[in-house]
Chain A
Amino acid sequence: MQFSFEFMFATLPALIRASGVTIEVALLAMLLSLSVGTLLTIVRAFKIAIVNNIVGLYISFIRGTPLMVQIFLAFYALPSLGIRLGPMTAGILAISANNAAFMTEIFRGALTSIPAGQIEAAASLGLGPRAIWLKVILPQLYMRSLPAIVSECTVVVKGTALLAIITVVEVFRTAQQIGSSSFRPFETFAAAGLVFLIISLVISQFGMWLERRYQLRRGT
């Protein structure tokens, strides 16, 4: 069978429609993981040994185990503990839990890059912990982490493809369905790859625009 570009492009509309689900999942996961990541960072700053050890363990687990296994744990294993989640919910939960760990580590790095002098100045002026966190640290934290956050966004989008395994109908699953019914899987998966490339491109362009807007490049 010859590779048909025609067929490949013919599948694009259906795939692009399905990418709505991909983007929805990715956005929710990003929002959730950013929030949880921020919370964990503040909690870690309190430096309570037991808490920090648990958080450390959690991060080590997430970073050391495959996302696919984490998704299976969320979807197949949680029910046996009494928590039944639908595929979409389980998927978003797994991806968020996964990404939150990486976010926390990104924030940890960004935190140490904030000049100590700013904290000292704020403290000298009499600002309390709450004000220091909200007005001095967090705004800068997000700015400094922005490039890393943007690249994590791409990772999250790529991760959504795995949700096809637990029956979420996003781009990859749609491609599987079209591919098997049309007996042209090669073209369909190539088209799916193209869709992901486009999404990645849009994300990185958005990231560059954000960096320019907030003048995050060194020297500007």
Chain B
Amino acid sequence: MFDISVITGNWAYFARGIGMTILITTAGMLLGFGIGFLVALLRTATLLPLRIAVGIYVEVLRNIPFIILLFIFFYGLPFAGIRIPSQVAGTVALALFCSAYYAEILRGAMAAVPSGQIEAARAMGLTHLQILRDIIVPQMWKFALPPMAGTTTTTVKESSVLSTIAVSELTYQGLIVQGMTFAPFEVFATVAGLYWIFTAVLTWGFHRAERAVGSPEMTEVIRSKVARKYLSLDHRM
């Protein structure tokens, strides 16, 4: 039923695909995080028009489908006279997309640093930049990492949309193999499996980092036996 030769015979395509996906996702994530960090900082700026502009940036990017953002970007560049390879355009679009999410996460994480510590710093005469560098940034990670894990996984999944502009990432390679072998089930099951493994590894990595940095764990224990019968879905408890 499941013709494994379709996969093994064309493994080179899949290998290239997953390699490209890892490359694009990593680059997009890093760039997106950098932009998101800047945006989060700008959100606290004193100039109101700046804050509003940044607010609009975040809201727009979070509410339109990534595929539309990608196409706007991809078709907009020729307008400005810039011609870049579709991979680069796709990576930048991905970075812009996740920057909006990272910006919101970082904003929340920075605000979660206890205000008393910031007051003490102000009372000592530290400037805004110094407070950011010495007190806020070192401590915001334990609040930022848990939601960042989700956003990073989302970015990996959205990278599949780049197949629509013919970037040779995993989904596109899958479509090619499918076109040659006419075995959609085997091909897409494999493609899905490969994404699954990638996101699982990323999530595991984030959990390790979260523990290292001291993120609060979310475990709920229901004491009442009767209540546990209904409210807990964990069959191991």
Q: Do chains A and B touch in the complex (CB under 8 A)?
A: yes
Binding site for B on A (CB under 8 A): 1, 3, 41, 44-45, 47-49, 52-53, 60-61, 63-70, 72-73, 76-77, 79-81, 108, 111-112, 114, 116-117, 119-120, 123, 129, 132-133, 137, 154, 158-162, 164-165, 172, 175-176, 179, 185-186, 189-190, 192-193, 196-197, 200-201
The complex places the Cα of A120 from the Cα of B68 at a distance, in Å, of 50
Closest Cβ–Cβ distance, residue A75 to chain B (whole Å): 9
Binary contact readout B224-235 vs A (1 if CB under 8 angstroms, 0 otherwise): 101111111111
Whether A200 lies near B68 (C-beta < 8 A) is: no
Q: In the complex where A69-B188, A80-B183, A192-B68 touch, is A185 in contact with B226 (Cβ < 8 A)?
A: no
Q: Of B76, B224, B233, which one neighbours A186 at CB under 8 angstroms?
A: B76
Q: In the complex where A76-B184, A186-B79, A196-B65 touch, is A112 in contact with B231 (Cβ < 8 A)?
A: yes
Nearest 9 Cβ contacts at the A-B interface: A116-B227, A66-B160, A161-B65, A76-B184, A47-B235, A200-B63, A66-B157, A44-B233, A158-B65
B11 CB–A CB distance under 8 Å? no
B53 CB–A CB distance under 8 Å? no
The complex places the Cα of A82 from the Cα of B79 at a distance, in Å, of 46
Closest Cβ–Cβ distance, residue B8 to chain A (whole Å): 18
- The prevalent SS among residues of A at the interface is helix
The complex places the Cα of A79 from the Cα of B184 at a distance, in Å, of 9
The complex places the Cα of A111 from the Cα of B228 at a distance, in Å, of 10
Whether A116 lies near B64 (C-beta < 8 A) is: no
Q: Of B178, B188, B226, B232, which one neighbours A112 at CB under 8 angstroms?
A: B232
Q: Which residues of B contact A154 (CB under 8 A)?
A: 63
Whether B79 lies near A77 (C-beta < 8 A) is: no
Q: Of B67, B71, B188, B229, which one neighbours A72 at CB under 8 angstroms?
A: B188
**Count class of interface residues, chain B:** 35 or more
Whether A77 lies near B185 (C-beta < 8 A) is: yes
Whether B231 lies near A111 (C-beta < 8 A) is: yes
Whether B226 lies near A65 (C-beta < 8 A) is: no
Q: Which residues of A contact B235 (CB under 8 A)?
A: 44, 47-49, 52-53
Q: Which residues of B contact A52 (CB under 8 A)?
A: 233, 235
Whether B191 lies near A69 (C-beta < 8 A) is: yes
Residue of A nearest to B160 (CB): A66
Whether A63 lies near B67 (C-beta < 8 A) is: no
- Can you list 21 A-B pairs, Cβ within 8 angstroms, ordered by A? A41-B233, A45-B230, A68-B160, A69-B192, A72-B184, A72-B188, A73-B185, A81-B185, A111-B230, A111-B233, A112-B220, A112-B222, A116-B223, A116-B224, A116-B228, A117-B227, A137-B230, A158-B65, A161-B68, A165-B164, A196-B63
Report the stretch among B102-110, B115-123, B137-145, B195-203 that lies at the interface: B195-203
Closest Cβ–Cβ distance, residue A207 to chain B (whole Å): 13
Q: Which residues of B contact A47 (CB under 8 A)?
A: 232-235
Closest Cβ–Cβ distance, residue B54 to chain A (whole Å): 17
The complex places the Cα of A77 from the Cα of B196 at a distance, in Å, of 18
Whether A172 lies near B189 (C-beta < 8 A) is: no
Q: Which residues of A contact B183 (CB under 8 A)?
A: 80
B52 CB–A CB distance under 8 Å? no
Q: In the complex where A64-B195, A76-B178, A77-B184 touch, is A45 in contact with B233 (Cβ < 8 A)?
A: yes
Q: Which residues of A contact B159 (CB under 8 A)?
A: 66
Residue of A nearest to B191 (CB): A69
Residue of B nearest to A158 (CB): B65
The complex places the Cα of A211 from the Cα of B224 at a distance, in Å, of 30
Residue of B nearest to A75 (CB): B184
Whether A65 lies near B196 (C-beta < 8 A) is: yes
Whether A197 lies near B63 (C-beta < 8 A) is: yes
